[in-house]
Amino acid sequence: MDGKALQIFLNKGCKDDEKMKNEVSTALRLSSDPAKLVLDAMEGFYPPHLREGDVEFKEVVVKRSCNLLLEQLMKISPTIKPHVRKEATKLAFLWMTKMTLDNQHRLDVLGFFNLLAAYGLASAFDSDELISRLVIISGNRQTPEFLRVLELGDKIPGFIQNLILKKQPMEAIRFIFAFEMVNRFPPETILRDYLTGSKIAARKIRRRSNSFEGLVESVNRRVADLMAVLKCVEEYKLETVFSPNTLKQQIKDVERQLSIRKTKLPDLDSKSPQPNLREKNRFGP
């Protein structure tokens, strides 16, 4: 099986589960040159127009398959021949010029860093430029490993500061604990600033739309933020700084605002939007 055939095989049944990952890992270990095999399979990433007969695979399927291959190649860490590394470097530079740096193109950015990590190409790129791109996938489970593998340790404080400035405090705290920088970036300060900003933002929403719908939006925003802090406190054992019971009570108090308002609006139109008080945490994994 050559690289293109391997890519098509994965596209037909690409599933992000352990069984598929193990099968890919086994196939790569059996290859005489797994690094070359995977590099050949990257053909469909840009542009993502791999076909088999009259069937053209969806862009997202092709990119997930490529990421799966690169991830498993990085795990088995094979010897990479000089000419293969040279080809991978050319692909990486091409990849960088084609990348769109926004949340809608995270698979592209993830693939780029999987490529750098799998083929050991970090030294060919400016470290500050790499850090600026890593922020796009800060929520990905592999990002802390990318920082280690690509030897960007001296850039981690700036990376964390960048996340804080971009209003991504939960992601910042994840990296603070991953790289043991609690003393340099106290989580309690970050969380308090976040809650203060959350309260201000909720008030602005209510003032902007002085209606029941505005109250619903304000409450949803505030509850989601409090729940994000609660999850963070429980995950990183910060109970001595923030009481989980106090946070839970605050959530109940905020939710109660809607109940009080409803009692004052007995003729509320049944078509009014219903609040999604347990809105999924916007800072989830």
Q: Model confidence over 117-176: pLDDT tens digits?
A: 999 999 999 998 898 889 889 888 889 999 989 988 889 999 999 899 888 999 999 999
Whether pLDDT at 70 is above 90: yes
The pLDDT of 92-104, averaged and rounded, is 85
Whether pLDDT at 49 is above 80: no
Tell me the one-letter amino acid at 133: R
Give the pair of three-digit tokens for residue 9: 């095989």
Band of pLDDT at residue 282, cut at 50, 70 and 90: very low
Residue 280 CA: distances (Å) to CA of 26, 105, 221, 223: 37, 22, 11, 10
Give the pair of three-digit tokens for residue 177: 């604990």
Q: Can you give the pLDDT at residue 269? A: 46
Whether pLDDT at 267 is above 60: no
Tell me the one-letter amino acid at 207: R
Q: Can you state the angle between helices 34-41 and 59-76, rounded to 10 degrees?
A: 170
Whether pLDDT at 50 is above 70: no
Q: Which residues pair with 51 in a beta bridge?
A: 56
The whole-angstrom separation of Cα 92 and Cα 112 is: 7
The whole-angstrom separation of Cα 163 and Cα 146 is: 16
The pLDDT of 230-246, averaged and rounded, is 93
Domain residue spans of the chain:
1-79, 81-185, 187-263
Stated pTM of the model: 0.75
109, exposed or middle or buried, with CB in 10 Å at 0-12, 13-18, 19+? Answer: buried
Report which of 79, 59, 64 is spatially closest to residue 20, judged by C-alpha positions: 64
Whether pLDDT at 38 is above 90: yes
Report which of 95, 116, 117, 107 is spatially closest to residue 140, judged by C-alpha positions: 107
